[in-house]
Amino acid sequence: MKRMHGTLIFSLCLALLFCYAGSAKAESSQSNGAPTSAHLDFRITIPTILYLQVGTVGATVDRVTFAVVNLPGTGPVAGTSSGANPVPVRVAALVGAASTVTLRADSSTALNDGSGHTIPFDQISWTASGNFTGNTFSGAANQQLDQFTGPGNRTGTYTFSYANANYYPTGTYDGTVTYTLSSP
């Protein structure tokens, strides 16, 4: 009886092994001297990847400084970056061929001197090179700067200037613009 029980378990194990081997999805073939072949499928998945650089590459955020030395109305004042001048800009996107990639800026919080005086960002403009366009900050939270279609690597520069068109109290005014790259 024990011998029959052991034979039965062995037979069940062999049956399960053959069932498992038969259900495997690997392709195989066998021949006697003739060519034989087998196929193997491949798949590459490329996800949406967005890369944005405004300023020099590194651990710190660049600061653009305007040294005002003339009275308002005498012309714009060129900006000087703490990083590279002009400021490097790079947008890289792995997206679908018909997908749009949009670069936006949030300049809704004005520059301030810490004592309640402010200068709106619409006093700062820039010229651009490469794949980008120049403009003036609108002071809006979602200003569209540029839009591209499809995947690619776009590079260029921004050169900033301060309008120096209005009278503001003396002081040092600081502010931050946040750039956002998106693709629906």
> What pLDDT was estimated at residue 4?
45
Mean pLDDT of the chain: 89
Decide if 183 contacts 101 (C-beta within 8 A): yes
Cα–Cα distance between 68 and 73 in angstroms, integer? Answer: 12
The answer, yes or no, to whether residue 18 has pLDDT greater than 60, is no
Q: How many CA atoms lie within 13 A of 113 on its CB side?
A: 10
Q: Give 8's pLDDT tier (boundaries 50, 70, 90).
A: very low
In this predicted model, what pLDDT tens digit does every residue of 121-148 receive, in sequence order?
999 999 999 999 999 999 999 999 999 9
Cα–Cα distance between 102 and 50 in angstroms, integer? Answer: 10
Fold category of 49-182 in CATH: Immunoglobulin-like (2.60.40)
Amino acid letter, residue 158? Y
The answer, yes or no, to whether residue 10 has pLDDT greater than 70, is no
> What pLDDT was estimated at residue 19?
46
In this predicted model, what pLDDT tens digit does every residue of 41-96 receive, in sequence order?
999 999 999 999 999 998 789 999 999 999 999 999 999 999 999 999 999 999 99
Q: What is the pTM of this model?
A: 0.80
Q: Give 30's pLDDT tier (boundaries 50, 70, 90).
A: confident
